[in-house]
C-alpha cells in the first residue's frame, strides 16, 4: 500500500460517483475510498469493488470525516460529487440544498491537514449561468435563476475564497449507462428510450439547450486532472466548463434516441418549456464553450450522437 496515492470520492453512491469508483478501482496506482450518506452503502457496489473502502459521512455537519482520517488517512485527491442535484428538490428545501451543496464541512476538514493541501475536484453545474445566450465562457458572470444554481455558486465562492488547491467542474447533464447499483433518479437517455418504445406521443422541449456530457468523458476528465496534478505537484486553481461538444434541445436529444432505435420521429411532440409548470425556474440556454476543457485534455469529449449510441448499446431493446 505504501506509495499509492489516496483518492476519496465524496458522494460515491451517486451516478457519477459510482462510475468514477468503477474506473479508479482498476488502477493499481491508487487507494480508493468513498463516502455515503445512508447508514449502509449498496451491497452491489461493495461486492463489485471489494478493495474500495467506504465511510458514512454527513456532508452537512461533517460527522464521519474524522473516521476517514483515522482509517484511510489524508487523501491526496478529493472528488466532491455529493449534492442535492434535482432543481425542484432544491427549490422545495432551500436550507437543505445550501447545507448540502456548499461544502463547508469538507473544506473545514481539509484545512485540518494544514499546508499539505489535498487537491479538491468539485462538481458544479451549468445552472450557475443565467441562460440568456449560447456558449457561456467560464469568465461570464454567474446569475443563477433557481436555488440549485444559487447553492452551487455559493459552493464555488467558498472554494475559490477559502481553499488554495482546487478544480471546479461546471458540468452539464451527465448521461450514459446505468450504475453498478442502479440509482433511484431517472436517467435521461434511458427514460427517453423507455417512453418512445411505448409508441405514444411524448412532449419534449424545443427551447431549452444544454451540452450533455457522456459519463465516461466526465470520468476521463477527472482522472486526467488527477494525473496532471500528481505528476506536476503544483497547486491548481481552475474553473472549467465540462460539457459535450454539442448544443442540443430535449427534442434533439429524443430525436437522437429515436434515430438509433428506429422509433418514429412523429412520436416526438415539440413543446415550449414555458407550457409546463415544473415548480422551478429553469434557464433556457446554458450551453457552454468548452475550449478550456479541450485544451487541457487535448481532445474533444464524445459527440452526443456517439454517446447516445454507446449508452443504448447497454440497454436491451424493449
Ordered DSSP codes for 76-134 = SEEEE------HHHHHH-HHHHHHHHS-HHHHHHHHTTTT-PPEEEEEEEGGGS--BSS
- With 70 as the cut, is the pLDDT of residue 318 above it? no
User: Grid coordinates standing for 90?
Assistant: 432544491
> Tell me, what's the pLDDT at 162?
95
Q: Indicate the domain borders of the chain.
A: 5-175+212-242, 188-211+245-312
Q: Which fold has domain 188-211+245-312?
A: UDP-galactose 4-epimerase; domain 1 (3.90.25)
- Cα angle, residue 20 at apex, residues 16 and 26 outer, rounded to 5°: 160
Cβ density class 76-112: b for 16+ within 10 Å, e for less = bbbbbbbbbbebebbbeeeeebbbbbbbbbbbebbee
Q: Could you tell me if 147 and 95 are in contact, meaning their C-beta atoms sit under 8 angstroms apart?
A: no
> Tell me, what's the pLDDT at 117?
85
Q: What is the CA radius of gyration of the chain?
A: 19
Mean pLDDT of the chain: 95
- State the pLDDT confidence band at 66, using cuts at 50, 70 and 90: very high
Strand partners, 93: none
Angle between helix 304-312 and helix 188-197 axes, rounded to 10 deg: 70
- State the pLDDT confidence band at 114, using cuts at 50, 70 and 90: confident
> Tell me, what's the pLDDT at 185?
85
- State the pLDDT confidence band at 70, using cuts at 50, 70 and 90: very high
> Tell me, what's the pLDDT at 1?
38
- State the pLDDT confidence band at 63, using cuts at 50, 70 and 90: very high
Least Cα distance to 81 among 110, 28, 123, 130 occurs for 123
Strand partners, 174: 213
Least confident piece of the model among 107-116, 219-228, 266-275, 283-292: 107-116
- With 70 as the cut, is the pLDDT of residue 139 above it? yes
- With 50 as the cut, is the pLDDT of residue 289 above it? yes
Mean pLDDT, to the nearest integer, of 49-71? 97
> Tell me, what's the pLDDT at 262?
96
Candidates 3.30.200.20, 3.40.50.10490, 3.40.50.300, 3.40.50.720; correct CATH number of 5-175+212-242? 3.40.50.720
Which region holds residue 279: left if phi is over 0, alpha if psi is between -120 and 50, else beta? left
Instruction: Kindly report the pTM of this predicted structure.
Output: 0.96
Beta strands 5-10 and 30-36 are: parallel
Distance of alpha carbon 134 from its chain centroid, rounded?
21
Mean pLDDT, to the nearest integer, of 16-39? 95
For residue 71, count other CB atoms closer than 10 A to its CB.
Answer: 10
For residue 162, count other CB atoms closer than 10 A to its CB.
Answer: 13
Amino acid at each position: 500500500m505504501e506509495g499509492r496515492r489516496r483518492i476519496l470520492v465524496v458522494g460515491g453512491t451517486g451516478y457519477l460517483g459510482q462510475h468514477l469508483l468503477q474506473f479508479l478501482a482498476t488502477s493499481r496506482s491508487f487507494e480508493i475510498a468513498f463516502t455515503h450518506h445512508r447508514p449502509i452503502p449498496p451491497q452491489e457496489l461493495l461486492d463489485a469493488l471489494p478493495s474500495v473502502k467506504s465511510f458514512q459521512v454527513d456532508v452537512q455537519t461533517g460527522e464521519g470525516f474524522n473516521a476517514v482520517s483515522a482509517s484511510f488517512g489524508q487523501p491526496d485527491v478529493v472528488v466532491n460529487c455529493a449534492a442535492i442535484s434535482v432543481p425542484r428538490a432544491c427549490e422545495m428545501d432551500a436550507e437543505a440544498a445550501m447545507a448540502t451543496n456548499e461544502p463547508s464541512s469538507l473544506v473545514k476538514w481539509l484545512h485540518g491537514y494544514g499546508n499539505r493541501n489535498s487537491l479538491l475536484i468539485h462538481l458544479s453545474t451549468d445552472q450557475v449561468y443565467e441562460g440568456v445566450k449560447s456558449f457561456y465562457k467560464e469568465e461570464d458572470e454567474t446569475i443563477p435563476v433557481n436555488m440549485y444554481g444559487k447553492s452551487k455558486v455559493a459552493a464555488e465562492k467558498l472554494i475559490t475564497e477559502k481553499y488554495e488547491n482546487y478544480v471546479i467542474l461546471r458540468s452539464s447533464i451527465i448521461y450514459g449507462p446505468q450504475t453498478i447499483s442502479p440509482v433511484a433518479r431517472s436517467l435521461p437517455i434511458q427514460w427517453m428510450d423507455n417512453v418512445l418504445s411505448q409508441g405514444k406521443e411524448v412532449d419534449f422541449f424545443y427551447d431549452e439547450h444544454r451540452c450533455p456530457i457522456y459519463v465516461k468523458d466526465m470520468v476521463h476528465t477527472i482522472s486526467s486532472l488527477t494525473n496532471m496534478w500528481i505528476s506536476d505537484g503544483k497547486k491548481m486553481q481552475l474553473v472549467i466548463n465540462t460539457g459535450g461538444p454539442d448544443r442540443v434541445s430535449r427534442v434533439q436529444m429524443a430525436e437522437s434516441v429515436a434515430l438509433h432505435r428506429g422509433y418514429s420521429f412523429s412520436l416526438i411532440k415539440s413543446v415550449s418549456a414555458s407550457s409546463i409548470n415544473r415548480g422551478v425556474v429553469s434557464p433556457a440556454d446554458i450551453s457552454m464553450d468548452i475550449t478550456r476543457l479541450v485544451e487541457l485534455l487535448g481532445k474533444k469529449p464524445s459527440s452526443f450522437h456517439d454517446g447516445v449510441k454507446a449508452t443504448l448499446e447497454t440497454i436491451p431493446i424493449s
